Every structure is written in structure tokens, then in C-alpha cells.
Structure 1
Amino acid sequence: MKFNRIEDMDLDGKVVLTRVDLNVPTDDGKVTDTTRIDKIVPTVRAIQDAGGKVVLMAHFDRPKGKRVDGMSLEQIQPALEAALEQKVTFASEAVGGPAKRAVAAMQPGDVVLLENTRFYPGEESNDPTFAASLAALGEIYVNDAFSAAHRAHASTEGLAQLLPSAAGKLMEAELDALNAALGDPVRPVVAVVGGAKVSTKLDLLSNLIEKVDHLVIGGGMANTFLVAQGIEVGKSLAERDMAGTANDILAKAGETGCTIHLPTDVVVAREFKEGAASETVPADACPPDAMILDAGSETVQAISDVFASSKTLIWNGPLGAFEIAPFDNATNAAAQEAARLTREDKLTSVAGGGDTVAALNKAGVAGDFTFISTAGGAFLEWMEGKDLPGVAALADGRQ
């Protein structure tokens, strides 16, 4: 898709309304993890380098259209100033007098932080009047919050219809990576989809089997597919009532030319705990009193072979119960192989989703993947083939 980037806009001397993600964890009013704050710094710097005045807009928590003191963005101000290494002016309202006065006093390079946009009911309802009140504060709109792009809110979608708009640096990186993975990828493309339940990823699986050449299914989801093929899985987590759906997906994959890869050997145990006694058995030989908690070494080798023959990888979800050893072995080994191929420029690797990020961090390879999305719901909806309002608005909004 085509969208404006910061470099495409004339920002010199202009007020740039910049939607960012500042929904960070806090404890007693102090930020405990600055990752999301750190990630917006390149966008702020790019606007400043172009002579712009940066007005930051964001939500925090779920105040449901009402002012909640504990959800004020004022508590984010000190961490924001530390990350930007400069003073940040806080406006106690997102619209109205305090916001107008803070913006009117700005000089190029200054940064103003508006109050939580979700204190206003017009934000989540994408009310045109509220969007217009926000738009009146600035001249250019930049969206750098891909993580909120699946919401059609005033600050994520409405503003793009009212002001010349562009993607921020983080949004730009996310869109470029996702386009490289699913929009116009270098083939062959392999997708890894893990997790507990098929029922939560039906849209994802249905979309991927039309887009990728290989689909690796792991975690509890794989058990459901094994059951669908008449294989007993003992006490393993499996959605037996989804067997018909799993068979439909297998049949559709056959029609689209997508090869689905399921475990051929599995790691089983009688207890789900750290260091539990375990053994590796063929996928069709799980004892009745045991549960499948990971993929076996033969399966990992097969996955590695698929990676080696592919050019693009999309990863969402672990291959086993990665949170505890020894059931993290398959996820760790496959991730490390993907990282090796990426380092050697043989594979473009894009990953996302909460458990995925945690698993890749645990495997020690997060820094080696081409791109890791922390956007959660927005990343999943993109993989499902759904339109994201905040992204579509950048392409369709005022130029």
C-alpha cells in the first residue's frame, strides 16, 4: 500500500499532531518499562529535524470516556522527558483551552503532551466533532501507533480524514515489514502458527493458507489437527469439537497449494511442571495417561529444513509449552535456526504476538529477526487479512 512518510511532508514551522503508543506499565505512578516510549523517539526526532512542533496524542488504560486521575498521562511526562532528553510540556486537556494555550506557545522542536484521549467519549466513538477539535490544534497528522491501528478512533482514523497525514517511523517500519511478509513477499513463504486453540486463530489460518507456501502448526493447536486425523493424544490439550474445522483447513490447504506441517514426534509428560520427567515418542504414540507438551527433535529438524528452503518467515505462537523447561526446546531450537538464517541474509523473518515476543526473547534471538512487532491485536488482525482503520486512513485520507 502507498502512504506518506515524514520525509514526504513539509513540516517546517508546523504543528504536527502525532499519535503514539504510551500505554506503558506503571507502578505507583512511575513507569516501569520504557520500551514503548523509547520506540517513539525516532519519530519525534524526525519531525524536529524537519522543523516541526511535536504534539503527542495517546491513550492510557481504559477510562471509558471519563476522567480518571490514576490514568492521566501526566505520570508519563518524566519518563518521556528522560527518553527525549528535553522538556515536555503537559496539557491537562486534549482539547480546549489548556491544549490551545500549550500549542500556541510552541517553538520549532518543542514537544507538548496532550492528556489521555480516552478521557473523552468522542475518542472511541470516532466522533467527528471531537476529531475536528483535535485537528484544530495542528496542521499535519502523523500516526506512529500501529498497535492502535485496528481501532477506528478519532485520534487513529478520524484525524487522517481532516489533515495531511503520514506514517511515523515506527508505523513505517511495521508496514514495510508486514508488506515484505504478506503483501509482496519473496517466495517461498513459511508461516509458523502456534498456541493453545484452533478456535482463536481460525481467521488467521484461513487467510494464511491462501498466502503462504508452507504452514507449520505447533502447540496445543497441533494436537487438535492430530485428533482430526484420528490420532489419540492422551490427556493433551486439544479441541476435539474442532476436528471437523481442522479437516476443512487441511482440505482447503490442499486446494491452495499450501503444505501444512504437523509434528511427527512429540515430547510427552505425565506432569506439567518445571523439569518433569519426559520422553519423546512418535506423534501417533502418545500414552493414554500422558500429555503432549512440545514437538520432538525430528519435527524440529523438518521445520529447520523448511526454513532453509524458504525466503520469508512469518511467526506467531510457540511450538510447545515454552514457559517451562524442558518443553521450550522445540521453540528455542527452531527460533535459533530462523535467527541464524536471518543473520546470514538467507531469510526475511517477521514475528509478532505477545507469546511470540516472549518466546523469542527467552530463546535469545529477538534481536536477530528482521522485524518483531509488539503490536499484539493489530498484528494479528493484519495477519488475518483484515483492514486496519488506522492504516487504511493513511492511504485514503487527505494528502
Structure 2
Amino acid sequence: MTDSDTDPTPEALAERVRAGEVRFHALEEHADPDTATAARRLLVEEQSGASLETVGEYAFDAAAADPNIENMIGAVQIPAGVVGPVTVDGGAASGNYYLPMATTEGALLASVNRGCSVIDRAGGATARVTTSGMTRAPVFRVDSVVEGEALASWVRDNGSTLKDAAEETTSHGELEAVKPYVVGDNVFLRFRYDTKDAMGMNMATIATQAACDVVEAETTASLVALSGNLCTDKKPAAINAVEGRGRSVTADVLIPRDVVEERLHTTPAAIAEVNTRKNLVGSAKAGSLGFNAHVANVVAAMFLATGQDAAQVVEGANAITTADVREEGLYASVSLASLEVGTVGGGTKLPTQAEGLDVLGVRGGGDPAGNNADALAECIAVGALAGELSLLSALASRHLSSAHESLGR
């Protein structure tokens, strides 16, 4: 901000944009972030004819959102609620938790809350993160498959060299593995990192660029793109279902038969049949990568409430639900193969999202590092399990439409 720009009003700043003196996207260079946001809002209202009065009412300094957005005009507010409390017996999460969720879908929290109640009546759910690692997969050009195989061999022989180069760029991330894939004159290298409590996409990208510089310096391969879509980020992909990305996490519960009958108004056998015919056979016939009822609902709502990257719901909903009849009652599980979450960085720094993390007690870095992100993943998995149980039982009892009708949705 220059001396001549000291304490401008939003109206004066907007007029300078109209006069061509200041660029629309550079308002923060001439005023504090809140004033710049207000000036931009005036210009958008003028051009569009829309009223942005409510968008302009937000409860944090615009400076707090500077790392998260450009051309800010305000904030979109999504109703936030909680379900639970629900008992989680996790490797990182342990205790009774209210699960924060933000959504515009009526009946969702009521449904998930019913599932949480049933889980608690059964003594709680168990959850474990089984694997973790953020991936980035650049694609290189080679002259032939012979050169491709040579590059793959070089990578296998020089893992420590690539590890040193990648880890020079970060004080937290650790390169765990590099797996080569040769496709004609293309070689994809799928780098996998332990990013601790960060979701880690930016960390992995920067570290991989450093490693790619070494590959180009030491081999005949040429880097074409830092992301070759074998990562795979923000797209449905079987590789994530098989090898995982972010956190692979599973939650399960054994519900006594009487609880199923009294609280879910159906039987273990009926729920298991719906799950098999709908989630497994139906999904297979559809060619779906998600073998579940509506895991995306819970993942999206908890992502929004805790500052996760909303676009990664695509991978986060890559889940399989199982349901089996046992002598004691109903065994049910949800396994999420590629849940990309973090408790530091990105949207987790925004004040309202940070409060969502506080509800779970997982804001910031964990002790040991990575523990908080693991706990968040386990809580999301238990929420997804509750949602699956509730929806499957509503279908089994044929109460789905009447439930929506009674809630006026």
C-alpha cells in the first residue's frame, strides 16, 4: 500500500478501478483486505444488479482468507450442525465426539444422527487408518520402451537420491516410495509422501518438482507435466481405490439384533440384503468406483465444516460398505480408500473451519505428527458408517420416502 492509498474508502477504491487506475484483482495492493473486498463487492453489484449485502456479512477478517481465495467479495455461509455424540474407538481418535457437518441437504443430519445413536447403543464404532500417503505422479517423455525401462530401473536404483532431493524442500514431508509405470514412450513416476498432519498436496507437488529436476539431469527423460493424472487428484480413479491416497481408513460396528429391530425398525438380514443388491451388485452393474449408499454426503459435509478441499470429495467417497448377519446381530463396515484430509494448512486456518476442528479436538499438528489428521479421518469414517446404517435401514424398512416427507424435505 502506497502513501497515497492510505485508508481509502471502498467507494473511492471502486472509482479508481472504474477510471482504470487500479486493477480489479489487485485491490489488496492499495487497501486493507476488508476494504478491498468491499470495493470489489460494490463493483460486482454495479455490473450484475445483484445485492451482495448478505455475502458481505462475514465474521472474520478478510486477511485470514488471503491464502485461500482471490478476488474476494465476501463469504458464502452454509448451515452447520452436529451429529452425535458418538463413541469412537480409533487408533488416534478415542472418546465421545460431536461430528461437525455443514450442508444444505435437509434430512441429512437427522439421518446420520440416527445412525450415530444406534452405533452408541452398540457400544461405539471401531476405526483405524490402515495406510497413508499423498501422491503426485509426473509424466516423462522417452524415445522408446527401452528408454522407459531404463528410467524405471534408474528410479528403483536411486531412491535415496530422489528422497534427498524431495525432502530438501520440506521440513515435515517424507518421501516413502516412487513407483514407475511405463506406457509406450511415457513413463509415469508415482511419488508417495508421508505429509503428517497436512493434507499435503502442495507439499508433494513442490517436493516432486525437485525430484524431477534430478531425473532430468541424470537421465535422458524429459518432464512433460508435473501431474500426469496417475496421482490421481480430484478425479474418479481405480488406482486410488486399490493403492490408496491420503488416508485409507475403515470403521466398523457390531449391532445387537434387538437394537437393529427396535431402533432401525428392520432386521440384520434385510439390511444385509439391501447392501448386497444395492451397494455391491447395483454398483458393479453401474461400473461405479464407489460401492456404498451415500458416503459422499458425510464426507462433503464434514469437509466443509473442517476446512478440507471440497473437490477431493471425489476421492473421499471412493468407499465400500459391507453388511453381514452374525449370530449377535448385524456387522457393518465402511472402508474409505482415499480420504485426503489435514488439520494444518489450507482451509483449516479459516476461523469457522478451525472451530469445526476444535469440536473434534484435532486442530493443528498432532503429537506424534500425523495423529490429528488420523483422528479426523477416523471420525469421518465413523460418520460415514452412521450414514450408511441409517440409509440402508430406511431402504430395508421402506421408510425412506416417508422420512423425507415427515421432515418436509
- TM-score, normalization by structure 2: 0.26
- TM-score, normalization by structure 1: 0.26
Larger Rg: 2
Counting strand residues as a fraction of each chain, which structure ranks higher?
Answer: 2
